[in-house]
C-alpha cells in the first residue's frame, strides 16, 4: 500500500521527479510563464507558490531553503529581489493555469503556468456596498416630462404692483367707406311732407 505517498509519479523515479519540479519552478520564476502539460502544471503549482512564500519571508533561513530546492543562486536572487516584492500584499494565489488545448503529437492536454500580475483590490464591506447595490437596482424613469401647457391669461386679474393695468376694450366693427346707408322706405307710405291730393268732385 502507498500510505503517505501522495502526488503523481509522472513515469519517473523520485530523483528524476524532484529534478523536474526544480527545473520547472526555476523556469517559472525566471521567465514568468512556462508551457507544459496540465498534469505537470498542477504538480508544480503548489511548489512554486511555496517558493514565493519563502521569498516573502526574506530571512536567511528562507533563502537557504529555497536554494536547497531550486539549486540555483541566480534564480533564488531573482525570486527574493524581484518576484517576492510584487506579491507582498497578496495572501496566496500567486500562479494560475491557463489551458490551451491538446498537443499535436500525442494529444496531451497543454497549459500555461504563469505568475499572476497586478495588485489585489480589497472587497468592499457588505454594509457599505448594500446602499450602492440598492441604488443600482432601482428602476430609472427615462420617460420625458410632458411639455408645459400655457394657461390662458385672465384679463380680470389684478395687475401686479408697479405695472400699469391693461384694460381690453371691445373693438367696434368697421363700416364700409362711402355714403351712409339709406334705409328703404316702406311700401304704401308717401314721402314725408307731401300732403295727399284731394279729388275735386266738381272738376
Q: Give CA angle at 147 (143, 148), nearest 5°.
A: 135
Higher pLDDT, 200 or 7: 7
Whether 143 maps to a domain, the answer reads: no
- Dihedral sign of CA atoms 150, 153, 159, 162 in order: positive
Average pLDDT of the chain to the nearest whole number: 79
Whether 79 maps to a domain, the answer reads: yes
pTM for this structure?
0.58
User: For residues 51 and 29, what is the distance between their CA atoms, to the nearest angstrom?
Assistant: 9
**Which domain does 84 fall in, by range?**
14-115
Whether 172 maps to a domain, the answer reads: no
> What number of other Cβ atoms are within 10 A of residue 40's Cβ?
19
Q: How confident is the model at residue 203 (pLDDT cuts 50, 70, 90)?
A: very low
Whether 43 maps to a domain, the answer reads: yes
User: For residues 103 and 111, what is the distance between their CA atoms, to the nearest angstrom?
Assistant: 10
CA 19 to chain centre: 48
Whether 163 maps to a domain, the answer reads: no
pLDDT digits (tens, 9 = 90+) for 74-113: 999 999 999 999 999 999 999 999 999 999 999 999 999 9
pLDDT at position 84 is 95
SS3 for 15?
Answer: helix
- Indicate if the pLDDT at residue 23 is higher than 90: yes
Whether 5 maps to a domain, the answer reads: no
Q: How confident is the model at residue 182 (pLDDT cuts 50, 70, 90)?
A: low
What's the CATH number where 40 sits? 3.90.1030.10
Within the chain, residue ranges assigned H as helices are: 14-31, 38-57, 60-70, 73-78, 84-86, 126-137
User: For residues 55 and 74, what is the distance between their CA atoms, to the nearest angstrom?
Assistant: 13
Q: Based on the structure, what is the number of domains in the chain? A: 1
Whether 8 maps to a domain, the answer reads: no
Whether 131 maps to a domain, the answer reads: no
Give helix then strand counts, H and E, for the chain: 6, 3
pLDDT at position 132 is 59
Amino acid at each position: 500500500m502507498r500510505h503517505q505517498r501522495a502526488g503523481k509519479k509522472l513515469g519517473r523515479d523520485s530523483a528524476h521527479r524532484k529534478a523536474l519540479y526544480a527545473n520547472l519552478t526555476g523556469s517559472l520564476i525566471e521567465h514568468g510563464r512556462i508551457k507544459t502539460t496540465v498534469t505537470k502544471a498542477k504538480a508544480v503549482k503548489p511548489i512554486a507558490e511555496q517558493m514565493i512564500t519563502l521569498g516573502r519571508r526574506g530571512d536567511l533561513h528562507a533563502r537557504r531553503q529555497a536554494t536547497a530546492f531550486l539549486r540555483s543562486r541566480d534564480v533564488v536572487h531573482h525570486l527574493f529581489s524581484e518576484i517576492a516584492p510584487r506579491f507582498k500584499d497578496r495572501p496566496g494565489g500567486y500562479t494560475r493555469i491557463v489551458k490551451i488545448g491538446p498537443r499535436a503529437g500525442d494529444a496531451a492536454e497543454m497549459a500555461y503556468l504563469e505568475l499572476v500580475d497586478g495588485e489585489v483590490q480589497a472587497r468592499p464591506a457588505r454594509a457599505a456596498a448594500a446602499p450602492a447595490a440598492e441604488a443600482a437596482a432601482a428602476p430609472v424613469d427615462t420617460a420625458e416630462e410632458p411639455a408645459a401647457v400655457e394657461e390662458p391669461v385672465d384679463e380680470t386679474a389684478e395687475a401686479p404692483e408697479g405695472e400699469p393695468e391693461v384694460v381690453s376694450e371691445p373693438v367696434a366693427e368697421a363700416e364700409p367707406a362711402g355714403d351712409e346707408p339709406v334705409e328703404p322706405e316702406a311700401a304704401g307710405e308717401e314721402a314725408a311732407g307731401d300732403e295727399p291730393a284731394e279729388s275735386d268732385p266738381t272738376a
